[in-house]
Amino acid sequence: HRHDGRGGFAVSHRGSLPVRGGGPLEDHPGETKFGSTQHVLRRPDGVLSGATADSTQYFKGIKNKAFGLKVYLNQTTGPLLIDQLAERDLIFKSWPGPLPVMVHAEGETVEAAIKLAKKYQKALHVCHVTADQIKVIAKAHKEGLSITCEVTHHNLFLKKSHIKRLGSLALMKPPLMSAADQQKIWYHLDEIDIIATDHAPHIIEEKRSSLPPFGVPGLETTLPLMLSAIDRGLLSIKFGTRSITVA
Q: Give the tens place of pLDDT for each residue, 188-198.
A: 998 999 888 87
Tens digit of each residue's pLDDT (9 = 90 or more) over 64-112: 777 788 899 988 766 788 999 999 999 999 999 788 999 999 989 999 9
Burial (CB < 10 A; 0-12, 13-18, 19+), residue 173, is: middle
This prediction has a pTM of 0.79
- Asked if the model's pLDDT at residue 4 lies above 60, the reply is no
> How high is the pLDDT of residue 110?
96
Query: Using CA of residue 72, residue 62, residue 21, residue 117, what is the dihedral sign?
Result: positive
